[in-house]
Amino acid sequence: MTRANLLQIAVFAALFGLLELGTQMGWISRFTIIPPSEMVTGAYNLFASGKIVPDFVSTMWSVIVASLLAIATGFVAGAMVHSLPQLRRTLDPFFASYYAVPIFAFYPLFIFIFGLTDIPKMIIAYFYAVVAMMINTMNGLDRMPAVYSKTARVLRMSGTAKTFWVTLPAAMPYVFTGVKLAIAYAFLGTIAAEFILSTSGLGHAISFAYLNFDNNGLYSNILIVLTLSVVLNMVLFYWERILLTRRGLA
């Protein structure tokens, strides 16, 4: 474990301890936030009782489906746009302003079409994630040395072979950044969509607890979401380190 990791743990433990002390001593109202120890206990009880499991599965299923679709289509679309400079120049303003567009404005339309199923939140999560994957794919291809493409032509590699044996490995560091962002945006979009209007999911559980003034349930579910996001980021970070180490870039 590095010094930076130890420092991160120490800072987190200090904040956790200060919040625990402040809530237990009455310096912070329990109507505002409950002690972290009660959040941990509440989260454990939700899993132990099985109450949160259907919501957890619903959220993770939506995140996984949206992420996989966004990663696959985002890479292909990014590569296609990169190969067409005129189209890319046309779309650059769209990419630059995409995340300023209120995607959730279309959520009621998706619910009207598909009903209160998992499909509307998957669509929202997908649209949040796919452009990040496209942009990072194009950035990676921009930085690929031209000699790689020339070598592929000399070897008479097919388009598919070139993509998997030349383009993808060469652009991998940037593509993986797109993968991380796609998963993060898919997770964010799913939770937010569930919070707005859904019949299942961790976001729905948070919204339900909030509307019913259930502070224990509210903060326990928030802790679950935070823990899940941290674990996902850690897994992706270490996976990226392994890939970069194998390429001699870390």
- 214 pLDDT higher than 80: yes
95 & 70 share domain:
yes
Residue 136 has pLDDT above 70, yes or no: yes
Supply the pLDDT for residue 249. Answer: 60
Regarding whether 124 and 76 lie in a shared domain, the answer is yes
Question: Do residues 52 and 147 share a domain?
Answer: yes
Split into its structural domains, the chain has a count of: 2
Confidence at 117, pLDDT banded by 50, 70, 90: confident
**Model's pTM, two decimal places?**
0.84
Whether residue 63 is found in the same domain as residue 115? yes
165 or 47: which carries more pLDDT confidence? 47
At 1, the pLDDT band (50, 70, 90 cuts) reads low
Q: Does 106 share its domain with 187? A: yes
Q: How high is the pLDDT of residue 250?
A: 57
Per-residue pLDDT, 10:
86
81-95 pLDDT, tens digit per residue, is 988 889 999 998 988
Residues 113 and 4 reside in one and the same domain = no
209 plus 99 within the same structural domain:
yes
Instruction: Check residue 248 and give its pLDDT.
Output: 63
Domain housing 9: 1-33
Same domain, residue pair 90 and 188: yes
Are residues 116 and 89 part of one domain? yes
pLDDT (0 to 100) of residue 161:
79
SS (H, E, C) the chain: CCHHHHHHHHHHHHHHHHHHHHHHCCCCCCCCCCCHHHHHHHHHHHHHHCCCHHHHHHHHHHHHHHHHHHHHHHHHHHHHHHCCHHHHHHHHHHHHHHHHCCHHHHHHHHHHHHCCCCHHHHHHHHHHHHHHHHHHHHHHHHCCCHHHHHHHHHCCCCHHHHHHHHHHHHCHHHHHHHHHHHHHHHHHHHHHHHHHCCCCCHHHHHHHHHHCCCHHHHHHHHHHHHHHHHHHHHHHHHHHHHHHHHCCCC
Domain identity same for 28 and 95: no
Q: Please tell me whether residues 18 and 62 are part of one structural domain.
A: no
**In CATH, what number is assigned to the domain containing residue 161?**
1.10.3720.10
One domain for residues 117 and 193: yes
Best-predicted range by mean pLDDT (105-109, 122-126, 245-249): 122-126
Query: What is the per-residue pLDDT for 121?
Result: 92
The lowest-confidence range among 51-55, 148-152, 180-184, 219-223 is: 148-152
